[in-house]
């Protein structure tokens, strides 16, 4: 073939995967893993300031990239170990704002509705994902080998069956591992996780941050919610109460009548004020309304008053109150 200008290759990228000699495929896969590791490191830096955005980006986008390669490259697990390490050592601590305990590193792998975060280890899922792809495409492979037409209905049925069986098996394995893990936890963490799993209150985790819809959480609030899911203490709390001098805790903040974080007392005051206002002004009293200007336009969806009432100072005009 000399003089024809042909280029011979031993392996090449194809449809998101790789074809060719095994050793060359491994080299191409290593290059791809290096780029993913760099992407996770960049996302870890962003997670220090924007943990919610970084987590949702990882869950819904980044980990799907190696999920596809796992389906089309056999034996990819060994080359994905650097990716495992950077997720465990950099990304998760950046999202939580602290180092995770051993049981937490295992818990984050399960689905959010079961108490985890859905951050799976690539090395642990690679073999199952590839096997799913092999079994799901069996009808297509057989048709190509035999030179026959592809029976689309048979292929669709096979794919649905394999997906259902694999999903059911993963679900059972997750349930069993989570039960064993939760059973060995301290009482506080165990109760917190049992409540999360029983009441199915994890929908907020997988929702994309949206200021317009009120789903964007400040960094500390997002981390506090993660810690409360695991029964861990909140971060950044003062050592003592600024009002009474007693040791400060979440429970103390809810009941202290002297400190600056008198949440329970404030709520009681708002409830009493709304009750009295409703006796005087009827159904026009509403709790926590958006603040509006004179034209009725909402100023900012993050700004709310404690309650509002109609016709307090002027007839048919709204008055906003903040205790």
Mean pLDDT of 12-33: 73
pLDDT tens-digit profile of 70-91? 887 887 888 889 999 999 999 9
Residue 93's pLDDT is 94
* pLDDT grade for 144, boundaries at 50, 70 and 90: confident
Minimum mean pLDDT range among 113-117, 130-134, 235-239: 235-239
The residue behind tokens 């690679």 is 126
Decide if 231 contacts 190 (C-beta within 8 A).
yes
Beta-bridge mates of residue 287: 307
161 within some domain? yes
Give 271-306 pLDDT, tens digit per residue: 888 888 888 888 888 888 888 777 777 767 667 888
Dmax over CA atoms of the chain, in Å, equals: 98
Closest among 229, 318, 244 to 281, alpha carbons compared: 318
Residue in this structure with the two tokens 């495929």, named with its chain if needed: 25
151 and 141 Cβ atoms separated by less than 8 Å: no
Which helix (H) or strand (E) segment holds residue 280: the answer is helix 263-281
Domain end among 191, 206, 221: 206
Res. 323: pLDDT tops 80: no
Asked if residue 148 is part of any domain, the answer here is: yes
Ramachandran angles phi, psi of 106, nearest 5°: -80, -35
Q: What's the pLDDT at 263?
A: 52
What's the pLDDT at 15? 63
- Per-residue tokens: 215: 């789903």
Return the DSSP state at 37.
Answer: H
State residue 14's pLDDT score: 63
**Token digits of residue 47:** 């997670």
**For 88-110, what is the mean pLDDT?**
92
- State both tokens at 216: 């964007």
Number of domains, the chain: 2
Q: Are 82 and 167 contained in the same domain? A: yes
Domain boundary among 189, 206, 223: 206
177 pLDDT exceeds 60? yes
Is the pLDDT confidence value at 228 over 90? Answer: no
* Domain membership flag for residue 233: no
pLDDT (0 to 100) of residue 1: 60
pLDDT of 259 reads 60
Whether 2 shows a pLDDT value over 70: the answer reads: no
Spatial contact of 52 and 216, defined as CB atoms under 8 Å apart: yes
Write out the residue range of the structural domain in which residue 301 sits. 263-321
* Range 46-73 average pLDDT: 89
What is the average pLDDT across 124-143? 86
Contact 163, 136 (CB under 8 A): yes
Mean pLDDT taken over the chain: 83
What is the rounded distance in angstroms from the CA atom of residue 47 to the CA atom of residue 54? 5
Residues 156 and 267 in one domain: no
In a domain, 250, yes or no: no
Q: Is residue 21 part of a domain?
A: yes
Q: What is the pTM of this model?
A: 0.70
Residues 302 and 176 in one domain: no
Q: Is the pLDDT of residue 115 over 80?
A: yes
Residue 1 lies in a domain: no
Compute the distance between CA of residue 31 and CA of residue 17 in angstroms, rounded to an integer: 13
């Amino acid at each position: 073939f000399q003089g024809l200008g042909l280029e011979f290759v031993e392996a090449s990228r194809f449809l998101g995967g790789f074809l060719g000699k095994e050793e060359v495929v491994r080299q191409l896969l290593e290059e791809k893993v290096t780029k993913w590791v760099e992407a996770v490191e960049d996302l870890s830096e962003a997670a220090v300031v924007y943990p919610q955005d970084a987590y949702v980006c990882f869950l819904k986008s980044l980990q799907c990239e190696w999920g596809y390669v796992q389906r089309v490259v056999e034996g990819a697990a060994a080359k994905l170990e650097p990716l495992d390490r950077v997720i465990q050592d950099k990304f998760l601590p950046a999202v939580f704002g602290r180092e995770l305990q051993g049981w937490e590193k295992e818990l984050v792998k399960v689905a959010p509705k079961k108490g985890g975060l859905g951050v799976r280890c690539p090395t642990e899922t690679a073999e199952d994902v590839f096997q799913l792809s092999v079994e799901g495409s069996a009808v297509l492979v057989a048709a190509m080998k035999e030179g026959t037409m592809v029976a689309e209905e048979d292929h669709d049925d096979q794919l649905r069956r394999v997906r259902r069986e694999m999903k059911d098996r993963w679900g059972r394995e997750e349930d069993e591992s989570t039960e064993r893990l939760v059973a060995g936890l301290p009482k506080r963490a165990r109760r917190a996780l049992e409540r999360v799993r029983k009441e199915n209150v994890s929908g907020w985790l997988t929702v994309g941050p949206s200021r317009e819809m009120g789903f964007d959480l400040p960094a500390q609030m997002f981390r506090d919610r993660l810690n409360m899911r695991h029964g861990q203490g909140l971060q950044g709390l003062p050592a003592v109460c600024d009002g009474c001098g007693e040791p400060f805790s979440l429970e103390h903040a809810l009941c202290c009548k002297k400190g600056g974080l008198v949440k329970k007392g404030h709520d009681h005051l708002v409830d009493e004020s709304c009750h009295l206002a409703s006796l005087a002004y009827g159904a026009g009293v509403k709790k926590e309304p958006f603040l509006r200007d004179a034209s009725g336009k909402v100023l900012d969806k993050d700004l709310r008053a404690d309650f509002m009432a109609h016709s307090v100072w002027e007839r048919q005009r709204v008055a906003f109150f903040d205790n």
